[in-house]
Amino acid sequence: MEENKITPEQFVKEVEKFSRGRLKRKIELLRIYEEAVKYSKIKEFEDLAFTAKYVQGLLRVVRTGSADPEVNNFEMMKNDFSDNMKKTIEQIRGIISSGDDTLKQHFENIYFELTQESFINMSELLSDLEWAKMYMNDLKRR
């Protein structure tokens, strides 16, 4: 993958530029990508970005779906969303598993707890990962 030839810092700067300054959790995006590079987990990072983009799409549908009569399998979508949120958390844990305990504890406390604040934080991180996925897709098309 092309962005593997650039530093993690440069990767996040490029994603930030691509998103036109919309990243909200740059430090965590950087830390996840650093761990992916350091421990040869780029494929896992790509899978995480794919899942994050999918979850973000589901979230958009779930947010509007309850009011949309066209959405007839709302319960199935909510279950799919829940399953993929769990998958995303496991993917992040897998990427950062070789990192130091401080990093792992940070993610547990800020993103993985079952609180509204953690859900908001996770939604912002997923948004950044979605931008990373769109950036990587754009690179492949060039």
What is the predicted pLDDT for the residue at 70?
64
Across the range 42-51, mean pLDDT stands at 98
| C-alpha span between 103 and 136 (Å, rounded) | 25
Q: Is the pLDDT of residue 2 over 60?
A: no
User: How many other CB atoms are found less than 10 A from the CB of residue 66?
Assistant: 11
Q: Is the pLDDT of residue 69 over 70?
A: no
What's the pLDDT band for 131 if we cut at 50, 70, 90? very high
